[in-house]
DNA sequence: GTCTATAAATCGATAGAC
DNA sequence: GTCTATCGATTTATAGAC
């Protein structure tokens, strides 16, 4: 199944993914051409097509791991009673998920380029999962103000990671602040 | 300065703006071609160029009014003492601004297509104004957790308008819920 | 003010050599 | 696995008739 890894470290495939996420995050998916990705990598456009069938395949590969982990987290939460303890534990696990392997970078790109992502299958799927998270925190019948607060709990974690400009904030500060505010919002 | 208005109601210029915002909001700025805008309007592409010099001019015109009002609001807030009363009044005025003339629709488009908008002058300007709002609510020295809460106050108003899927929510419910949560977050 | 026609550039994707 | 070369489609924008 796996291709052999070259001795020079990151595989070309992984380097394409890394550079693509960089450029997509700077300019947006639609405004980033395969020529630009290839140039920053020092290869030609045609080389990309050896590793990915289409441009869409590249962006899809960026979301895959994160989507699988999010699916598992949602499945866990749906097996639990809808109590405040479950919501607290969900928030903690969601915050862990985002921090692991820089997953928040993919989510930041998704949030800032939502409209481009909608027309791709992986974008529509991630969107539906985020809606599932909302439904899970706010079952039918939850009053509007409480629903808004619980929506903001998730957004608090996102904002802690990529909504605060201050370069003084360390990863630890962001993590702790996001958790503290999110936990009080799902009370 | 003003062009005479045709008798049939909305000027062609205003209809271009309306259709452009619709399509930009559906598919994103980059993925929307002038051909599509022209087709939905029932005119040819060339007609658009009589009313707007470039595609960028169209999107710029969508932000102009809102940017001017936001500038005025920021100027007002900067003339006030940074007290909790000022923050409360700012939140109320900001909520009013968003509701007036459907301004939240433009902001919704901006938020969902941030990356496309960054490379246009009007997008960079709006972004800098939103950062100014944050700085205003959280002067230097504000602890991270408090800063996060105050950032979320603005986001609460945005989310009330275009972040909650429920079609049962009326404009009044959204307005009141947004205000209530935002006000408690800037305490 | 709107049209037809077209210029000039760029894009995603493919063919085939090496 | 990467290259050169190119195809076909689409884009923003313009020229000039009406």
pLDDT in 10s for each residue of chain A, 187 residues? 455 555 556 899 999 999 999 999 999 999 999 999 999 999 999 999 999 999 999 999 999 999 999 999 999 999 999 999 999 999 999 999 999 999 999 999 999 999 999 999 999 999 999 999 999 999 999 999 999 999 999 999 999 999 999 999 999 999 999 999 999 999 9
Q: How crowded is residue B24: how many other Cβ atoms within 10 Å of its Cβ?
A: 25
Q: Does B169 touch chain A (CB under 8 A)?
A: yes
- pLDDT band, very low/low/confident/very high, at B10 (cuts 50, 70, 90): confident
User: Is A131 in the B-facing interface, judged by CB distances under 8 Å?
Assistant: yes
Q: Do A28 and B115 touch (CB under 8 A)?
A: yes
pLDDT at residue B11 tops 50: yes
- On whether the CB atoms of residues B106 and B68 are closer than 8 A, the answer is no
Q: What would the 3-class secondary structure string for A43-59 be?
A: CCHHHHHHHCCCHHHHH
pLDDT in tens, B99-124: 999 999 999 999 999 999 999 999 99
Longest Cα separation, chain A = 57
Of B28, B114, B131, nearest to A30 by CB-CB distance is B28
Whether residue A123 lies within 8 A of chain B, CB to CB, comes out as no
Residue A164 per-residue DSSP state: -
- Find how far residue A180's CA is from the centre of its chain: 21
Distance CA(B116)–CA(A159), nearest Å, equals: 20
Instruction: Assess contact for A12 and A44: CB atoms under 8 A.
Output: no
Q: CA at B29, C1' at C15: how many angstroms apart?
A: 34
Rounded distance between C-alpha atoms, residue B156 and residue B93, angstroms: 14
**Which of A64, A74, A46, A88 has its CA nearest to residue A187?**
A88
Is the CB atom of residue B45 positioned under 7 angstroms from any atom of strand D? yes
How does pLDDT run across A146-159, given as a tens digit for each residue? Answer: 999 999 999 999 99
Largest CA distance in chain B: 57
State the pLDDT confidence band at B84, using cuts at 50, 70 and 90: very high
Comparing CA positions, the residue from B60, B62, B73, B61 lying closest to residue B154 is: B73
In the prediction, which pLDDT does B1 show?
A: 46
Helix (H, G, I), strand (E, B) or coil at B167: coil
The Cα–Cα gap between B127 and B118 comes to 8
Report the residue of A25, A27, A28, A109 to disrupt the B interface, i.e. the one with the largest count of B CBs within 10 Å.
A28
Contact across the interface for A144 and B30, Cβ inside 8 Å: no
Query: What pLDDT was estimated at residue B4?
Result: 54
Integer distance in angstroms from CA B65 to C1' D17? 37
Percent of chain B residues past pLDDT 90, beyond the cut: 93
Q: Which helix (H) or strand (E) holds B91?
A: helix B84-99
pLDDT in tens, B121-179: 999 999 999 999 999 999 999 999 999 999 999 999 999 999 999 999 999 999 999 99
Which nucleotides of strand C lie under 7 Å from a protein CB?
1-5, 10-16
Residue B28 has its nearest CB partner, among A116, A164, A166, at A116
Count A/B contacts: CB-CB distance under 8 Å: 109
Q: Is B124 on the interface with A (CB under 8 A)?
A: no
Q: Which residues contact residue B72 at a Cβ distance below 8 angstroms, ignoring those fewer than 6 apart?
A: none
CA-CA distances (angstroms) from residue A110 to B18, B59, B97, B170, B174?
26, 22, 27, 28, 25
**What single DSSP character describes residue A80?**
S
Q: What phi, psi does A32 have (nearest 5°)?
A: -100, 120
Our measurement of CA A5 to C1' C15, in angstroms, reads: 28
Write out the E strands in chain A: none
A60: left (phi > 0), else alpha (psi -120 to 50), else beta? alpha
């Amino acid at each position: 199944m796996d291709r052999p890894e070259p001795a020079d470290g990151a595989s070309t495939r992984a380097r394409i993914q890394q550079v693509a996420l960089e450029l997509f995050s700077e300019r947006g998916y639609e405004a980033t051409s395969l020529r630009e990705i290839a140039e920053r990598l020092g290869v030609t456009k045609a080389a990309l097509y050896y590793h990915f069938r289409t441009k869409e395949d590249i962006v899809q590969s960026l979301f895959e791991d994160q989507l699988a982990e999010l699916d598992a987290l949602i499945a866990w939460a749906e097996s639990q009673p809808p109590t405040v303890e479950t919501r607290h534990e969900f928030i903690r696990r969601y915050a862990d998920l985002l921090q692991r392997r820089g997953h928040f970078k993919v989510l930041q790109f998704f949030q800032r380029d939502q409209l481009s992502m909608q027309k791709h299958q992986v974008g529509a799927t991630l969107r539906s999962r985020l809606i599932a998270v909302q439904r899970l925190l706010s079952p039918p019948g939850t009053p509007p103000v409480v629903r808004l607060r619980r929506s903001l709990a998730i957004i608090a974690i996102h904002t802690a990671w990529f909504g605060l400009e201050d370069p003084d904030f360390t990863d630890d500060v962001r993590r702790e602040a996001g958790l503290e505010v999110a936990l009080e919002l799902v009370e």
